[in-house]
Chain A
Amino acid sequence: SAVISQKPSRDICQRGTSLTIQCQVDSQVTMMFWYRQQPGQSLTLIATANQGSEATYESGFVIDKFPISRPNLTFSTLTVSNMSPEDSSIYLCSVRIPGTGANVLTFGAGSRLTVL
């Protein structure tokens, strides 16, 4: 199975700043997904990132707040812009690995952000 590396694993940020999270996969994948896991809540899909095209955002998430880059088939970044305490969450990168079955996701370990 694929190995997904996320950086940073955790960070403490000041209100109003921005932070970029990196996701590196050890194999080429078509689609990469960014999820948010707020404290005590489920995973919510933020957006789907395809290489060579703009990310597709879910309802309630906008590009200005969560810009995403996907420069190649193994890498993506998610930026959390102009952070507020409400952005304190775990952000997870995930991918579908070819051959593992439709809709089977592999996840990174997550990036835990705390906004003060």
Chain B
Amino acid sequence: AQSVTQPDIHITVSEGASLELRCNYSYGATPYLFWYVQSPGQGLQLLLKYFSGDTLVQGIKGFEAEFKRSQSSFNLRKPSVHWSDAAEYFCAVGGRFGNEKLTFGTGTRLTIIP
């Protein structure tokens, strides 16, 4: 069965500092991988996705993520965080077929301090 692990429940970083959120997955084949962000009181917004090709993918709001097959990881990074990045971040894994459901990690809450 597919699964996603986000080992960090809560991360605090200073505004302007770099950020890396960890995500490890388990999937029987090459997965589709996603990062979503949930701001307070909002639904989930897609930040970026990996389907195939270049293992470094760019997303919205200056985020990027790198797919590392050997480590079963898909870590999210941002070189310089802004106060507006404070939110909950979810990693998700899914199959290559449209009828396969997504499996989400438990999320990482990001706090930004001035």
Question: Known: A43-B90, A45-B101. Is A106-B32 also a contact (CB below 8 A)?
Answer: no
Q: Which of A41, A45, A101, A107 contacts B51 (CB 8 A)?
A: A101
Per-residue interface assignment for chain B, residues 66 to 95, with 1 indicating a CB less than 8 Å from any chain A CB and 0 otherwise: 000000000000000000000000100011
Closest Cβ–Cβ distance, residue B6 to chain A (whole Å):
9
B34: CB under 8 A from chain A?
yes
How many cross-chain pairs have Cβ atoms below 8 Å apart between A and B? 57
Separation of A106 and B107 alpha carbons in the complex (Å): 17
Closest Cβ–Cβ distance, residue A71 to chain B (whole Å):
22
Separation of A104 and B32 alpha carbons in the complex (Å): 9
Q: Which residues of A contact B42 (CB under 8 A)?
A: 109-110
Asked whether A107 lies within 8 Å of B101 as measured between CB atoms, the reply is no
Separation of A108 and B32 alpha carbons in the complex (Å): 22
Q: Which residues of B contact A58 (CB under 8 A)?
A: 101
A42: CB under 8 A from chain B?
yes
Separation of A42 and B32 alpha carbons in the complex (Å): 18
Given contacts A33-B101, A92-B43, 12 further A-B contacts (CB under 8 A): A9-B41, A40-B106, A42-B105, A43-B44, A58-B101, A103-B102, A104-B34, A104-B46, A105-B44, A107-B36, A107-B45, A108-B43
Asked whether B43 lies within 8 Å of A102 as measured between CB atoms, the reply is no
Question: Known: A102-B32, A103-B102. Is A110-B94 also a contact (CB below 8 A)?
Answer: no
Interface residues on B, range: 20 to 34
Instruction: Return 21 A-B CB contacts under 8 Å, by A number.
Output: A9-B41, A40-B106, A41-B106, A42-B90, A42-B105, A42-B106, A45-B102, A48-B101, A58-B101, A92-B43, A94-B44, A96-B98, A102-B96, A103-B94, A103-B96, A103-B98, A103-B100, A103-B102, A104-B46, A105-B102, A107-B45
Q: Which residues of B contact A105 (CB under 8 A)?
A: 44, 46, 102
Interface residues on A, range: 20 to 34
Q: Which residues of A contact B46 (CB under 8 A)?
A: 104-106
